């Protein structure tokens, strides 16, 4: 992800502390330890969104089962979590990602 864009905000989602610490090697914004608590997830996402809200045409790069997909923030209506899946509800359809995947804010 860093190779695609040096300015993206990265949040690691992991169940192993050691992997979270490695996130700082790529200047990750933060990390979330599993099991994920809704409140902690919401706070960290709010922080990421606040950083990119200042940028025009910001996008979110998420890892899906088919590879990576880039979503514009202005197209996201809301984000839902079901079991280990994150569902990005957009004005153009839904995009599904596994919670163990990575995502970055561009």
Q: What is the pLDDT of residues 39-72, one digit of tens each?
A: 888 888 888 878 877 776 778 888 887 888 888 8
Per-residue confidence (pLDDT) for residue 94, from 0 to 100: 93
For 94-99, the CB contacts below 8 A with 24+ separation are: 95/62, 95/64, 95/69, 95/71, 96/64, 96/65, 97/62, 97/63, 97/64, 98/63, 98/65, 99/13, 99/34, 99/36
Q: Residue 1 above 60 pLDDT?
A: yes
Q: What is the mean pLDDT of the chain?
A: 80
Q: Which residue has the higher pLDDT, 59 or 93?
A: 93
Q: Residue 106 above 50 pLDDT?
A: no
């Amino acid at each position: 992800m860093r190779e695609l864009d040096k300015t993206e905000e990265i949040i690691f989602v992991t169940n192993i502390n050691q992997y979270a610490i490695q996130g700082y090697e790529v200047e990750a914004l933060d990390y979330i330890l599993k099991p994920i608590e809704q409140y902690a997830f919401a706070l960290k996402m709010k922080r990421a969104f606040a950083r990119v809200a200042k940028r025009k045409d910001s996008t979110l790069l998420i890892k899906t089962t088919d590879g990576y997909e880039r979503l514009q923030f202005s197209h996201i209506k809301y984000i839902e979590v079901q079991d280990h899946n994150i569902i990005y509800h957009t004005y153009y359809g839904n995009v599904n990602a596994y919670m163990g995947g990575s995502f970055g804010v561009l």
